[in-house]
Amino acid sequence: MSILDNVVSSSAAEASGLSQQAFNELRALIYDHTGIYFRDNKQYLLESQVGRRLKALNLTSYESYIELLQNGRRHSELPALVNAITINETFFFRHPKQYEAIVNDVLPALITKHNRSRVRIWSAACSTGDEPYTLALLINEMKRRRFSKVQFDIVGTDINTAVLDKARKGTYGSYAVRNTPDRFLNKYFRAEGNRYTLRRDVTDRVRFKHLNLTDPSAVRGLRAFDLILCANVLIYFDRDTKQAVISNLYERLRPGGYLFVGTSETLHGVTRALQPVRFNNTIAYQKEDRHGPK
């Protein structure tokens, strides 16, 4: 057998490419379930992401994979598909200006002006937990200086079950902690080689839950929050889905509560229900306080 024969026979065993029709069917299915919309120029990306599922299931065509999703095995495969197609990029201390505003302005305002003895915080689309854990670390430091009697509940949710498993474990590579100031790294993480594991009392502070932001009844099932972070996920949605998700979040915000989106994202043209509030170099969106400013 020549080298060329080898190449030909191994590629014959591989899945054939993602046809335009299969792409359209897959993206419609993904959009219906997650709100994530694959634009035409992302066909190659979907092909490679779903290609991994084909390999895992020993399937040789995207058409047979779609068939599987449409028949009885849909419920077992759908979570695996979601895990394969979501982009989960995140890291500790990703948005320093926002964290600064939260610690210096937002939380003190909620506690003093709005008289909260219990502050509820939601990291919506939290991926591997870096964002809610960053908040837990900052709040732990803040509580030592002020507000020691205030209780902070932190919840992280995501549609991807694999990242939530990782979040619950609380172990990270050096890339995830690259922005973490040394004093936090030394105090709250145990380092083993290039792995960093959060202290148990920190991981215990955050509750993780599987949740689809486009599912209004699932979102309604959560208790209301004073502060919601929903960063770097709206970018995957079209305008209708953005509006639906923001309206779901709005419902879960307590009067006077704050919403932060990613630093390169805006709610301009998405909603008028939330008022932009400017802090030093960053913006949050606030829900009107029924009782007016105190």
Ligand X SMILES: C[S@@+](CC[C@H](N)C(=O)[O-])C[C@H]1O[C@@H](n2cnc3c(N)ncnc32)[C@H](O)[C@@H]1O
- Closest CB to ligand X among residues 116, 282: 282
Contacts of 241 (CB under 8 A, 6+ apart): 35, 37, 214
- Of residues 73 through 112, those in contact with ligand X by CB under 6 A are 86-90, 94
Q: Of 235, 213, 15, 48, give the one whose Cα is nearest residue 123.
A: 213
36 lies in the site for ligand X, by CB under 6 A: yes
For ligand X, the closer CB: 9 or 281: 281
> Contacting ligand X (CB under 6 A), which of 69, 101, 131, 155?
131
Element holding 80 (H helix, E strand): helix 74-85
Q: Which of residues 228 and 231 has its CB atom nearest to ligand X in the complex?
A: 231
**Would you give the binding string for ligand X spanning residues 251-290, x where CB under 6 A is met?**
-----------x----------------------------
From 35, 51, 129, 170, residue interacting with ligand X (rule: CB under 6 A): 35
Interface with ligand X includes 232 (CB under 6 A)? yes
Which segment (17-25, 33-41, 67-75, 200-208) binds ligand X by CB under 6 A? Answer: 33-41
**Is 160 among the residues that bind ligand X (CB under 6 A)?**
yes
- 213 contributes a contact to ligand X by CB under 6 A: yes
Cite the beta strand spans of the chain per DSSP E: 118-124, 151-158, 171-173, 189-192, 195-198, 206-210, 225-230, 253-261, 274-279, 282-287
Question: What is the nearest approach in angstroms of ligand X to the Cβ of residue 163?
Answer: 5
Compute the distance between CA of residue 264 and CA of residue 98 in angstroms, rounded to an integer. 12
The residue behind tokens 């509030």 is: 277
Residue 260's DSSP bridge partners are: 229
Q: Rounded to an integer, what distance in angstroms lies between the CA atom of residue 280 and that of residue 282?
A: 6
Binding region for ligand X (CB under 6 A) out of 11-19, 32-40, 148-156, 189-197 = 32-40
d(CA 149, CA 135): 17
Among 46, 139, 163, 219, contact with ligand X (rule: CB under 6 A) = 163
Distance of closest approach, residue 53 Cβ to ligand X, in angstroms:
16
- Choosing from 18, 159, 177, 253, the residue that interacts with ligand X (CB under 6 A) is 159
Name residue 11's amino acid: S
For ligand X, the binding residue among 212, 242, 253, 285 (CB under 6 A) is 212
DSSP 36-56: B---GGGHHHHHHHHHHHHHH
Q: For residue 142, what are its two tokens? A: 């803040």
Residues that bind ligand X (CB under 6 A): 34-36, 86-90, 94, 125-127, 131, 158-160, 163, 212-214, 231-233, 236, 262
